[in-house]
Amino acid sequence: MTVTHNTNVRILDEVVFVFLAYKQEKFIPQTLLSAFNQTCFPSKLIIMDDASPDNTDKEIRKLISEAPEGLNIEYLHNEINVGLVSQLNKLVGKFDNKLIVLQAGDDESYPNRLEETYKAWIEHNKPSLVLANYDCIDASGQIIKKFDYQSPSEKPYTLDRIIRRRVKVYGCCAAIHSDLFNFFGPIATEVINEDRINIFRAYFRRGIFYLHKPLLKYNSEVGISAFQSETKLQLLHKVRTEAQREIIDIECHISDLKKIHDTSVYNLLISRKKNVQWLTTIQTSLTFWQALIAIFQGVSPSVALKIYKKVRRLRDE
C-alpha cells in the first residue's frame, strides 16, 4: 500500500523506517502515530505485523487508511508467526546505502527521531549503527524515568567491552546501515539478542555512533526483552537463561568472523564462551570449592568469584 508523495514535506531519501509489531493492539493507536508524525518523512515506512493473534492487524490497517498524504507505506502482514529475527532478515538485500531506523510496536518515537538520527549518521560518515537513548514509560504510556542529560555519555564501543558485554546496546533506538544487513546476511533464527549481533558486526564494518539524547519512549514494562526477577530461583534462572542465549550469540559471532577474515578474535570468543558455559550450570548450592575448580578449568577468576558471591548472598537472604 503506497501513498503518493507530497512535495511540501521533506523526504529523507536515504532513510527507511521499520515498525515491528506483534500482539500490541492497545499500543498501536499511539505508537504507530508516532511513526507517522515525524518532522521528516522516510523514503519508506515499512510496517511489519508478525501474525498477531489479537486486533493488531486491524488497528494498523485503520491507521494506514488515515495516514498523512505523502507518507510512502509498505505493510507486510504475516499469516504465520516467524519471530523478530526472521522479520529483520527480510531487510537483507532489500536496500542499498540506506539508514534503516527500527521501532517496536509498544515504543513511541519522538517527532524529531528520524531527523536527528539521520543528521548524526551523515555527520559521522554513515556508521553501521547509530544508537540513541530514551525515556522509560510504563504500560499506560506514562514516563517513569526520564533521560538525564547530565549523565555521562557511553564509553567507547571497544572490542573487549563488546565481547565481555560491558556496552549498552540500546536496541530499541537502533538505526542500522543497510550495508550491515547486506554484508553479513541473515542472523540465525535461534538468536534472541539480535541487538548484540548488530553491535559486534558494526564494530568490524563502519563502526558505532552513540547519540546522547532521548529519541524514543521505551516501554520498559512489557517490551520483548523485559525480564522480571522476583525470587532466588528466578534470579538464577535469569543468569542461566541469559548465558544460554549468549552462547548462541557467540556462535553467531564466530560464524561472522569468516566474513571479515579476522582469526585474532576467535580465541577471545572461545575464552568468553568457556565462562558463559559455566554460568549455564549455576545452582543455589554453588560452593567456594566448586568456584575454585571452575577457575582451574579455565573460567575467569573474576567471573567465578563474582557469581559465587552473588549466589552466597541469595542463600543468606
pLDDT digits (tens, 9 = 90+) for 20-69: 999 999 999 999 999 999 999 999 999 999 999 999 999 999 999 999 99
Q: Which three cell numbers stand for residue 250?
A: 557467540
Domain match, 164 and 31 both = yes
Domain match, 96 and 202 both = yes
Domain match, 164 and 283 both = no
Tell me the pLDDT band of 232, cut-offs 50, 70 and 90. Answer: low
Q: Which residue shows C-alpha cell 493492539?
A: 25
Lowest mean pLDDT among 51-65, 104-118, 231-245: 231-245
**Nearest to 88, CA basis, from 46, 147, 60:** 46
**How do 41-49 and 143-145 pair as beta strands?**
unpaired
- pLDDT at residue 9 in the model: 83
Q: Higher confidence at residue 271 or residue 4?
A: 271
Domain with 117, as residue range(s), is: 11-219
Number of domains in the chain: 2
Q: Which three cell numbers stand for residue 67?
A: 495516514
Tell me the pLDDT band of 229, cut-offs 50, 70 and 90. Answer: very low
Beta bridge partners of 44: 16
- Among 191, 219, 247, the domain boundary falls at 219
Write the CATH number for 27.
3.90.550.10
200 sits in which H/E element: helix 194-203
- pLDDT at residue 239 in the model: 87
Gap between the Cα atoms of 40 and 122, Å rounded = 15
Task: State the average pLDDT over residues 180-187.
Answer: 98
Contact 127, 121 (CB under 8 A): yes
Task: State the average pLDDT over residues 231-238.
Answer: 75
**Residue 125 Rama label (left phi>0; alpha psi -120 to 50; beta):** left
What single DSSP character describes residue 225?
T
Domain match, 75 and 126 both = yes
Burial of 126 (0-12, 13-18, 19+ CB in 10 A): middle
Per-residue pLDDT tens for 185-214? Answer: 999 999 999 999 999 999 999 999 999 999
- Among 167, 185, 219, the domain boundary falls at 219
